[in-house]
Amino acid sequence: MIRADACIVGAGAGGIGCAYRLIKEGASVVIVDKNPDFGGTMVFSGVDGWEPGVSLDGLHTLICKELEGIPLACHVTEVIPNLNIFDRSVGRDWEKHSFSERPWAFSAPMGDAYETTLGRCLSIRGENGAMKRFQFDSDMFNIALGNIFAPYRENLKTFFGYSYVSCTKEDGRIVSITVSDGGDEIKICADYFIDASGDIVLARDAGCAYTVGTESRHAYGEPSAPDKASKTVNAVTYVFRISKSDDPSHIDPLPEWVKSTDLGDWEEKEMRRCVSFTAQYPNGDVNFNMLPTMQGSEYFSLGESADTIGHARVYKYWSYLQNEKNMKGYTLKRIFNAGIRESYRLVGRYVLREQDLRAGGPISEDLIGRTVAVADHAMDIHGKSGMCKELNDPYKIPVECTMTNEFDNLFVACKGASFTHIAASSARLSRTMLSLGEGVGEYIAELIRDPEKWKM
């Protein structure tokens, strides 16, 4: 059995932020993740670029500084319509862009400062302001993170390759969890538990209220919500990475197994509608974010076959781009794990809604006034029921969005926090989740020092 002040399930953005703040404040922390290292979606799903967006000061600036000290690890890029790595002659005019003819937008290196990426909403960027993102190489991310964590490592135990199995509960608190690497099982006891697993596996198993899918307009009065609720969730992308070939006319052959994979009518009805937002890595490789590879509900219904279908679609799509859109001279280097934008979401002590986003933060006054993150990304839903609505101003996320109603010592610090479907489409971004995790970690560190200070 292992004992710690706090146990974190999930080492993605939220888990990283939470772990950093806790160990920096002197708390003992155990973190568990099924992946082989830190990073979650940022590292293993190819979402290795931070979209333009406001954020509280904190760990993200330290990660940026460390990455900037590593050769070919990061740079600031600007989103440019029409332009792509294969044809730079079309120009940058959004007004003349046709996604049907040129289904892409390219994020090209600009040499700007990191601070230029810290804002997307209209009051910060302005109507005609450029979208600046921070692109980093996922292989370098954990080198930078290791340097930051190094002074506090004695406070941190990591169990990578371990998955959550079960929990024990007593008198409204989580007492312990059991995790396994497929063979050995480990019991972890802690005063506080943080579910940063993305699909909130601990919170669901513990019996916390949760939801999945799209709420109706009636549920929370959100103006952009549909009349009826559904199981629709944000679409899934299999991000892929390409590298330059020695042969400028190179075209990757389509694997034989892909030719024999039944993709139904996707190739005719959906493939050519995909829009790729691409970004150049510092070493010249290109990241392709294919919007989308499959509908969210389809991904979850496919189960174990989702990866096979998803990878086959990537190969087909890349073949289409090379053969019909003249994207020659590059080769497919890597297909990342599925990028899941949305799955299960906590129904916590406060549910963040569209109205809160538009108002700059929670409309309710029945809160303790603790902000754990700020954000300003658009309400951005991909797939058949998609939309992209920009916000005028940043908004605050209260700590209550991370608190469960059922347990005093269980928090959720990930995209599965207490958001509606629409609010989650904005708040889910990696840099926001990094900040949210850090805010939760700071809050818990204060609870460890003085349990009565923030008692609800």
pTM score, whole prediction: 0.95
Sequence-distant (6+) residues with CB within 8 A of 168 are: 174, 175, 176, 177
pLDDT digits (tens, 9 = 90+) for 283-341: 999 999 999 999 999 999 999 999 999 999 999 999 999 999 889 999 999 999 999 99
pLDDT digits (tens, 9 = 90+) for 59-97: 999 999 999 999 999 999 998 876 666 666 666 665 666
What average pLDDT does range 351-357 have in this prediction?
A: 97
pLDDT digits (tens, 9 = 90+) for 357-415: 999 999 877 788 899 999 999 999 998 778 899 999 999 999 999 999 999 999 999 99
Tell me what pLDDT residue 88 has: 62
Q: Specify the higher pLDDT residue, 104 or 4.
A: 4
Tell me what pLDDT residue 127 has: 78
Of the CA atoms within 13 Å of residue 112, those in its CB half-sphere come to 20
330 within 8 A of 243, measured Cβ to Cβ: yes
Region class of 67: left (phi > 0), else alpha (psi between -120 and 50), else beta: alpha
Task: Name the average pLDDT for the chain.
Answer: 93
Does residue 106 surpass a pLDDT of 90?
no
Q: How far apart are CA 356 and CA 184, in angstroms?
A: 45
**Two tokens at 190?**
């802690």
**Long-range contacts formed by 224-230: CB under 8 A, 24+ apart:** 224/354, 224/379, 224/387, 224/389, 224/422, 225/354, 225/420, 225/421, 225/422, 226/385, 230/385
Map residue 64 onto helix, strand or coil.
helix
Least confident of 74-83, 173-182, 196-205, 311-320: 74-83
Tell me what pLDDT residue 428 has: 97
Residue 245 CB: number of other CB atoms within 10 A? 14
Does residue 242 surpass a pLDDT of 60?
yes
Closest CA to 236 of 316, 337, 102: 337
Tell me what pLDDT residue 383 has: 83
Q: How far apart are CA 38 and CA 141, in angstroms?
A: 9
Delineate the domains of the chain, giving CATH numbers in brackets: 2-46+142-230+342-449 (3.50.50.60), 76-133+235-340 (no CATH)
Region class of 183: left (phi > 0), else alpha (psi between -120 and 50), else beta: alpha
Does residue 102 surpass a pLDDT of 80?
no
What average pLDDT does range 234-242 have in this prediction?
A: 97
Tell me what pLDDT residue 95 has: 66
425 within 8 A of 354, measured Cβ to Cβ: no
Does residue 255 surpass a pLDDT of 60?
yes
Tell me what pLDDT residue 385 has: 76
Q: How far apart are CA 139 and CA 280, in angstroms?
A: 15
Does residue 454 surpass a pLDDT of 60?
no
